Chain A
Amino acid sequence: MTAAAATRHRPLLAGLGERLFANASMRAGCTVILVVALLAVFAPWLAPYSPEAQDLTLRLMPPPLFGGDWLHADWSHPLGTDALGRDYLSRLLYGARLTLLIGIGATALSSVIGITLGMAAGYFGGRVEMLIGFIINVRLSMPIMLIMLSLVALLGNSTWLIMLVLSGFLWDRFAVVSRAVTMQLRDREFVLAAKASGCGDGRILFGEILPNLVRPILVVATLEVAHAILLESALSFLGLGVKAPGVSWGLMIAEAKDFVFFQSWLVTIPGAMIFLLVGAINLYCEGLKSGDGGVR
């Protein structure tokens, strides 16, 4: 039995908790994601300093844990300071905000594009499907890193633009998955029944088919959030993503790249955070897939 059939006659939010935490990978992944999200939301209250406050007398202070004698070390900056004497912990906390915002925002936007295209292709078939299949093919053949870099260089790197550019290139998996599921559902009894009782295409697509897309779309969405976070950090790393005074984890690594040899924590700490967050999101996605009837 497919997920579609299983979830079809249940209210959308029934047993949500149980479905979101069904297995160990999902619980572990979700815990990390929630912790990072809480840190991001409450950054202004949690951060000991302003992320932009410079103290040039305290440049490149190592984190106490790196120093050896950490019991008697100076704990005023728990993760040390960067090249401009800014508190690294505060920057890390604030960095989580833009990193998550861009990741989630870009995914939300691209899901709208992808689901619309995918549902239309799967439902109408024929010429419409051919055209949309072609658009997907074009998108897949484009070297996204180069085109995104060019667009950001030409149009300027505001947070919104980065989100928009990312979402313009991350919709393909949404489209492919919703096309496949819609095709499976197109000739099922409940769709035919709706058609027979005089429902229009829009009503069938959004009322009958869309609710059945929720689970497979959730799998794709988690993957794409992780993907978007990695791409944003790479853009920021190359100097064409988030720009100062904004902070993102990718930008922190970009600012630290000249210090990788002697102050390696400046690179390893934000990198480890990206690794942890993206890893947790992927872990959650694996759990979601291995649950009953997930889309592989």
Chain B
Amino acid sequence: MSSRTALAGYVVRRLGMAVAVLFTISLVSFFLLKLSGDLATSLARDSSGAYVEFLRRQYGLDQPIVVQYGQWLGRAMTGDLGTSFYFNEPVAALFAARLPVTMLLSLMAIVLALAISLPLGILAALNEDRLGDRLIQLFALSGQAMPVFWSSYLFIIFFALQLRVLPISGGASFAGLVMPALTLALFTMPALLRITRAGMSDALASDYVRTARAKGLRWSVIVTRHALRNALVPLIGIAAVQFGLLLGGSVVVETIFAIDGIGYFSWQAISQNDFPVVQATVLVVSAFYVLLTLAADLLSAWIDPQFKLGRPA
């Protein structure tokens, strides 16, 4: 099999999987809305039965469920995610206003996490099974064991109350995003650190690194040019996954630091029974995750030399 057909086959299969997953997720979020009760009575609030009937017909709720799903999916694809019960405004607009903050927060978190875990992961691999490695692994372990809400409060107590260098809350300013991003970074760091360490340690033990050493290349060049490059391939996938998880997982941090992003927004919506909002968040966050992991997989397939040799993993 030539490398091109192998790659093409992989791309087609991977795309098919992404579409199927997206379709299933849309079913899940549609039924989440259905599970939350009768849309017409929620919309009518205290009005009479006739009005409820009118709304039911107006919104097509008297149609069979398959038709309802089809209509809902059609609207969702054109960007119409329904109307929030609580705000009485289109969900898409409310959502779009809050997405950038969460995106920025997650991006800052992932960049911070990479800034911590890349050098530490490399350092750990270079000192494998020695004291430095042990300490770095202990650090990763502690990051993994910290409940996000607890580390948030520890940061608040330390940075805002003791040192008074950062504001306690608010996503309006860049400084207000530093602490929440740091909290999320601490939570994301262990996975990235482990994969960097494992990748580096495999690369350092490989034949091409031994050959490079035998040729007399400088150690720093070997580490940065040769070993790191190969260690980065699995890191792409994990970083993409972690970024996707952050978008849906910033609920706790956003509520603590009072950041008006999609996490806080959907938590509010859940407590107000505003399910069109919840459903839209589930749909958008999942879709984002699917696209992100798809892009990461295709990118790694493209980089991975195994594919160029026509031997898909």
Q: B-contacting residues of A (Cβ < 8 Å)?
A: 134, 137-138, 140-147, 149-150, 153-154, 226, 230, 233-234, 237-240, 250, 253, 257, 260-261, 264, 267-268, 271-272, 274-276, 278-279, 282-283, 286, 296
The docked-state distance in angstroms from the alpha carbon of A153 to that of B273 is 8
**Cβ-defined contact, A275 with B157, below 8 A:** no
Q: How far is the CB of A258 from chain B (nearest CB, A)?
A: 12
**Cβ-defined contact, A275 with B150, below 8 A:** yes
**Cβ-defined contact, B142 with A279, below 8 A:** yes
Question: A147-B282, A240-B270, A261-B161 given as contacts; is B148 within 8 A of A267 (CB)?
Answer: no
Cβ-closest chain B residue relative to A147: B282
Question: A146-B285, A264-B157, A282-B144 given as contacts; is B150 within 8 A of A239 (CB)?
Answer: no
**Cβ-defined contact, A237 with B149, below 8 A:** yes
**Cβ-defined contact, A275 with B25, below 8 A:** no
B179 at the interface (CB under 8 A from A): no
B156 at the interface (CB under 8 A from A): yes
Cβ-closest chain B residue relative to A143: B248
Across the interface, which residues of A come within 8 angstroms of B293, CB to CB?
Answer: 140-141
Across the interface, which residues of B come within 8 angstroms of A146, CB to CB?
Answer: 248, 251, 266, 270, 278, 281-282, 285
Question: A138-B25, A238-B255, A278-B145 given as contacts; is B248 within 8 A of A145 (CB)?
Answer: yes
Across the interface, which residues of A come within 8 angstroms of B278, CB to CB?
Answer: 146, 150
**Cβ-defined contact, A143 with B247, below 8 A:** yes
Q: How far is the CB of A149 from chain B (nearest CB, A)?
A: 5
**Cβ-defined contact, B251 with A149, below 8 A:** yes
Which 9 A-B pairs have CB atoms at the shortest separation, nearest pair first?
A143-B248, A271-B150, A279-B145, A278-B145, A143-B285, A141-B286, A138-B24, A237-B149, A153-B270
Q: How far is the CB of B109 from chain A (nearest CB, A)?
A: 15
Interface of A is mostly: helix
Across the interface, which residues of B come within 8 angstroms of A233, CB to CB?
Answer: 147, 149
- Number of residue pairs across A and B with beta carbons under 8 Å? 127
Q: How far is the CB of A230 from chain B (nearest CB, A)?
A: 6
- The stretch from B28-36, B42-50, B88-96 touching chain A is B28-36
**Cβ-defined contact, A283 with B281, below 8 A:** no
Q: How far is the CB of A11 from chain B (nearest CB, A)?
A: 33
Question: A149-B267, A240-B270, A264-B157 given as contacts; is B21 within 8 A of A143 (CB)?
Answer: no
Across the interface, which residues of B come within 8 angstroms of A286, CB to CB?
Answer: 137, 141
- B interface residues, tally (CB under 8 Å): 47
The docked-state distance in angstroms from the alpha carbon of A286 to that of B145 is 13
Cβ-closest chain A residue relative to B35: A154
B289 at the interface (CB under 8 A from A): yes
Q: How far is the CB of B89 from chain A (nearest CB, A)?
A: 20
**Cβ-defined contact, A275 with B271, below 8 A:** no
B97 at the interface (CB under 8 A from A): no
Across the interface, which residues of A come within 8 angstroms of B17, CB to CB?
Answer: 134, 137
The docked-state distance in angstroms from the alpha carbon of A183 to that of B239 is 28
Partner pick for B146 among A150, A275, A283, A296, CB 8 A cutoff: A275
Q: Which of B232-258 contact A (CB under 8 A)?
A: 245, 247-249, 251-252, 255-256
**Cβ-defined contact, B282 with A143, below 8 A:** yes
Across the interface, which residues of B come within 8 angstroms of A275, CB to CB?
Answer: 142, 145-147, 150
Across the interface, which residues of A come within 8 angstroms of B145, CB to CB?
Answer: 226, 274-276, 278-279, 282
Question: A145-B249, A271-B153 given as contacts; is B21 within 8 A of A138 (CB)?
Answer: yes
The docked-state distance in angstroms from the alpha carbon of A122 to that of B95 is 41
Mark each residue of chain B from 138 to 178: 1 if its CB lies under 8 Å from any CB of chain A, else 0: 00011011111110011011000100000000000000000
Cβ-closest chain B residue relative to A280: B145
The docked-state distance in angstroms from the alpha carbon of A149 to that of B266 is 10
**Cβ-defined contact, A238 with B20, below 8 A:** no
Across the interface, which residues of A come within 8 angstroms of B266, CB to CB?
Answer: 146
**Cβ-defined contact, A142 with B267, below 8 A:** no
The docked-state distance in angstroms from the alpha carbon of A223 to that of B139 is 17
